[in-house]
C-alpha cells in the first residue's frame, strides 16, 4: 500500500503532466477561445512584476462565489505564463485542493513541500528559481493563510494564488492581511457579460457612468451610451433579448452554455445550496439544523420585499434565537450570497434601525423565487423587486472595487423615501430611486430637498436614454447595469 507522501507525489505528478495538455479543451469551445475577464490583466501585471524581481505582490487571494469564473481565470493565467513568458510547465502547479483531498487528506503546506522536493530537490528556503502555485478551493485547508505567510516569509521565488468558492474564510483570516493582494471576483455586470460572451468592449460606458453618478455630469455618459447602443445594434452575434436574459438569468459565466431557463435556475439554486452545505460546513461546521435555517432564510428573502427586517421577527419565523439568526446572516454575507444596507443617519440611528438585505444578483433571487413559487412572479411589482436588486448589486460591487470609497444606505424616511442614498466619505448625499413604469418626481425631489443634494438619480424603464431634467438624472435600467 502506498504511503501518504507517495500518494500526494503521484497526484502532483499527474497534475503537472495533465494541465498543460488540457488547457485548449478547458479554455475553448468549438475551437474558439474563451474571452477573459478584465481581472486577468491585473493578475498578469502581478506576475510580470514578480518575474522582474519585485516580490511585493507575490501572494494573491481571489475570493468569490461559485460559477463566477475563478478557475477559468487561473487557467488563462497559467497559459499566459507558459506560452508568453516561457515558464516551464514543471514550474507552474495548478491544483484543485478539493480534488486532492478527495484522493488523500493533506494540508497545503505538505503539498507544497512535496512538490518542491520532488521537482526541484529543494525546500522553501533553498529554492532558487521562479515557481508559480495556484490553489483552487483553498478554504478546505483551515491553515491556508498560515501556510501563505510561511511561504511569503521563507521564499522570494514562489508566487501563490489562493482561490476559494466561499469568501467567508478568505476574508476572516488576518494572517496574510499585510502580505497579500485580495481581489474579489464578483458576478458579472453587463459590461463584463458582453466582453465574455461577445468580446465587445464597453468599458468606456462603465467609466463614464461612474463619473456621472458622482459628479452629475452626463455629457460623456450620453456619448458612450449612444456609441454602445450602436455597437450592439451592429453586432450580428448580439441577441436583442440578451439583456432581458442577463437580468433574470445572468451574471455567472458558468451558465453561458445552458439552453433553458429551467436549467439555469436549477444550477443557481445548486450554487446557493453548495455554499451552505459544503463551503460553510467545512469552515464553521454548521449543524444540519442551521444549514436548514440558512436555506429557509434565503427562501424567506426571495419571497419578501427587501424592506427593513428585524432579526427578532426572523428568529420567530425560524423558531430559533436572535443570536443564532445574527450568526447565520453574518455567515451568508461573508459568502457574498447576500449583502445589507443600513439606514442613513448617525451611528445611534443606524444601530436602532433594521437592515435591508439583497441577493448578490437578481438572478439568484429569481431562481429561488421560481423554486418556492413566489406569487408575484410575472407581475410589475416582481419585476420592480428584481430591478431594485440589480441596482443594489451594481452599487455594492462598485463600492468594493479598488479606488472607490462610498457607502450605500437606504432612506428611512417614513412618508416619502427613495430606495438608496450613496455618499463618498463626507461628500454630498446622492439619492437614487428605482422602479418600473412611470416614476413620479416627487420622491426624488423630496429627497433632494431633505438632504440638500445637488441632484438625484432615477433608474426606470420609462426612458430609453440618459437624460437630465433640472436636478434629476434619468438612467435606463439596461444602461445602469453597465456600471
pLDDT of residue 396: 94
Residue 175 pLDDT greater than 70, yes or no:
no
Residue 167 scores a pLDDT above 60: no
Give yes or no: residues 35 and 107 share one domain: yes
Report the pLDDT value the prediction gives residue 3, as an integer from 0 to 100: 84
User: Which of 147, 163, 185 delimits the end of a domain?
Assistant: 185
Same domain for 62 and 114, yes or no, is: yes
Residue-level pLDDT at 74: 95
Beta bridge partners of 3: none
The residues, ordered by sequence, that sit 6+ positions from 270 with a Cβ below 8 Å of its Cβ are: none
| DSSP conformation letters of 229-290 | HHHHHT-TT--TTHHHHHHHH-S-GGGTT--SHHHHHHHHHHHHHHIIIIIIHHHH---HHH
480 has a pLDDT exceeding 60: yes
The pLDDT value recorded for residue 381 is: 85
What average pLDDT does the segment 189-208 reach?
94
Element (DSSP H or E) covering residue 120: helix 108-120
Is residue 136 within 8 A of residue 74, CB to CB? The reply is yes
Are 54 and 170 in the same domain? Answer: yes
Count of residues in the chain: 483
Q: Looking at the structure, do residues 257 and 331 belong to the same domain, yes or no?
A: yes
Q: Which residues are registered as beta bridge partners of 474?
A: 458, 467
pLDDT of 170 over the 80 cut: no
Tell whether 39 and 166 lie within a shared domain. yes
**372 and 243 together in one domain:** yes
Residue 180: name the closest of 158, 161, 157, 155 by CA: 161
Among the listed residues 28, 398, 345, 449, the one whose alpha carbon sits nearest the alpha carbon of residue 212: 398
The CATH number of residue 45's host domain is 3.40.50.300
User: For residue 439, what pLDDT is reported?
Assistant: 62
Q: pLDDT over 90 for what percent of the chain? A: 59
Distance (Å, whole) CA 149 – CA 142? 13
- Whole-number pLDDT of residue 218: 95
C-alpha cell at 317: 419565523
pLDDT score of 85: 96
Do 164 and 232 belong to one domain? no
Same domain membership, residue 122 and residue 44: yes
Distance of CA 163 to the CA centre of its chain: 12
Question: Inter-axis angle of helices 362-372 and 242-249, to 10 degrees?
Answer: 70
What would the pLDDT profile of 80-130 be if each residue is shown by its tens digit? 999 999 999 999 999 988 888 888 889 999 999 999 999 999 999 999 999
Query: What is the per-residue pLDDT for 226?
Result: 97
Reported as a single tens digit per residue, the pLDDT across 1-47 is 568 888 999 999 999 999 988 888 888 887 888 999 999 999 999 99
Instruction: Note the pLDDT of residue 375.
Output: 74
Note the pLDDT tens digit of each residue in 250-286. 999 988 887 799 999 999 999 999 888 887 776 666 7
Q: How many domains does the chain have?
A: 2
Q: Is the dihedral of CA 279, 285, 286, 289 positive or negative?
A: positive
The average confidence (pLDDT) of the chain is 89
Share of the chain above pLDDT 70, in %: 93
Domain residues for 303?
A: 191-480
Range of weakest confidence among 51-55, 218-222, 449-453 = 51-55
Average pLDDT over residues 320-327: 89
Residue 168 has pLDDT above 60, yes or no: no
Identify the pLDDT of residue 282: 67
State whether 124 and 220 are in the same domain: no
Residues 314 and 217 in one domain: yes
Residue 437 banded pLDDT, cuts 50, 70, 90: low
**Range 309-328 average pLDDT:** 86
Specify the pLDDT at position 336.
Answer: 86
Query: Is pLDDT above 80 for 344?
Result: yes
pLDDT of 258: 77
- The last residue of a domain, from among 150, 185, 220: 185
Closest to 356 measured CA to CA, from 395, 405, 319: 395
Together in a domain, 181 and 195: no
The residue from 123, 157, 185 where one domain ends is: 185
Closest CA to 349 of 318, 308, 389: 308
Helices (H), 304-379: 311-318, 322-334, 347-352, 362-372
Write down the pLDDT at residue 348: 58
- Residue 6 grid cell: 507517495
Q: How far apart are CA 12 and CA 53, in angstroms?
A: 27
* 171 band by pLDDT with thresholds 50, 70 and 90: low
CB atoms within 10 A of CB 188: 23
Do 209 and 177 belong together in one domain? Answer: no
Is residue 166 very low, low, confident or very high in pLDDT (cuts 50, 70, 90)? Answer: low
Q: How far is CA 440 from the centre of its chain?
A: 33
Nearest to 46 by CA among 18, 73, 13, 67: 73
pTM of the predicted model as reported, rounded to 2 decimal places: 0.91
Amino acid at each position: 500500500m502506498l504511503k501518504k507522501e507517495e500518494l500526494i507525489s503521484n497526484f502532483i505528478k499527474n497534475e503537472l503532466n495533465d494541465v498543460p495538455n488540457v488547457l485548449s479543451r478547458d479554455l475553448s469551445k468549438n475551437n474558439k477561445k474563451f474571452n477573459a475577464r478584465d481581472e486577468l490583466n491585473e493578475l498578469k501585471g502581478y506576475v510580470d512584476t514578480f518575474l522582474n524581481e519585485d516580490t511585493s505582490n507575490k501572494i494573491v487571494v481571489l475570493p468569490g462565489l461559485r460559477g463566477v469564473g475563478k478557475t477559468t481565470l487561473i487557467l488563462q493565467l497559467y497559459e499566459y505564463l507558459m506560452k508568453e513568458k516561457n515558464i516551464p510547465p514543471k514550474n507552474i502547479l495548478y491544483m484543485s485542493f478539493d480534488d486532492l483531498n478527495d484522493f488523500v487528506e493533506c494540508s497545503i503546506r505538505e503539498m507544497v513541500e512535496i512538490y518542491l522536493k520532488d521537482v526541484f530537490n529543494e525546500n522553501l528556503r533553498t529554492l532558487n528559481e521562479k515557481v508559480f502555485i495556484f490553489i483552487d478551493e483553498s478554504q478546505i485547508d483551515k491553515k491556508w493563510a498560515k501556510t501563505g505567510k510561511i511561504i511569503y516569509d521563507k521564499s522570494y521565488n514562489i508566487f501563490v494564488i489562493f482561490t476559494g468558492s466561499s469568501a467567508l474564510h478568505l476574508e476572516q483570516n488576518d494572517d496574510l492581511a499585510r502580505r497579500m493582494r485580495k481581489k474579489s471576483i464578483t458576478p458579472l455586470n453587463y459590461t463584463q457579460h458582453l466582453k465574455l460572451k461577445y468580446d465587445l468592449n464597453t468599458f468606456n460606458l462603465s467609466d463614464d457612468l461612474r463619473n456621472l453618478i458622482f459628479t452629475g455630469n452626463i455629457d460623456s455618459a450620453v456619448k458612450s451610451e449612444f456609441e454602445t447602443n450602436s455597437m450592439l445594434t451592429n453586432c450580428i452575434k448580439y441577441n436583442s433579448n440578451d439583456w432581458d436574459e442577463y437580468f433574470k438569468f445572468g451574471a455567472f459565466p458558468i451558465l453561458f452554455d445552458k439552453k433553458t431557463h429551467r436549467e439555469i435556475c436549477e444550477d443557481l439554486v445548486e450554487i446557493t445550496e453548495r455554499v451552505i452545505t459544503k463551503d460553510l460546513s467545512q469552515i464553521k461546521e454548521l449543524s444540519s439544523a442551521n444549514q436548514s435555517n440558512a436555506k429557509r432564510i434565503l427562501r424567506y428573502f426571495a419571497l419578501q420585499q427587501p424592506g427593513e427586517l428585524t432579526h427578532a421577527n426572523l428568529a420567530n419565523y425560524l423558531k430559533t434565537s436572535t443570536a443564532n439568526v445574527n450568526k447565520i446572516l453574518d455567515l451568508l454575507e461573508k459568502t457574498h450570497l447576500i449583502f445589507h444596507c443600513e439606514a442613513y443617519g448617525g451611528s445611534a440611528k443606524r444601530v436602532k434601525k433594521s437592515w435591508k438585505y439583497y441577493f448578490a444578483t437578481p438572478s439568484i433571487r429569481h431562481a429561488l423565487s421560481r423554486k418556492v413559487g413566489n406569487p408575484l412572479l410575472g407581475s410589475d411589482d416582481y419585476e420592480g423587486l428584481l430591478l431594485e436588486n440589480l441596482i443594489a448589486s451594481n452599487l455594492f460591487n462598485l463600492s468594493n472595487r479598488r479606488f472607490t470609497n462610498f457607502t450605500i444606505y437606504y432612506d428611512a424616511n417614513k412618508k416619502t423615501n427613495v430606495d438608496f442614498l450613496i455618499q463618498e466619505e463626507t461628500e454630498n448625499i446622492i439619492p437614487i430611486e428605482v422602479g418600473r413604469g412611470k416614476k413620479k418626481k416627487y420622491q426624488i425631489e423630496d429627497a433632494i430637498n431633505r438632504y440638500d443634494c445637488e441632484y438625484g438619480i432615477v433608474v426606470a424603464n420609462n426612458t430609453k436614454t440618459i437624460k437630465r431634467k433640472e436636478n434629476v438624472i434619468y438612467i435606463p435600467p439596461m444602461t445602469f447595469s453597465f456600471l
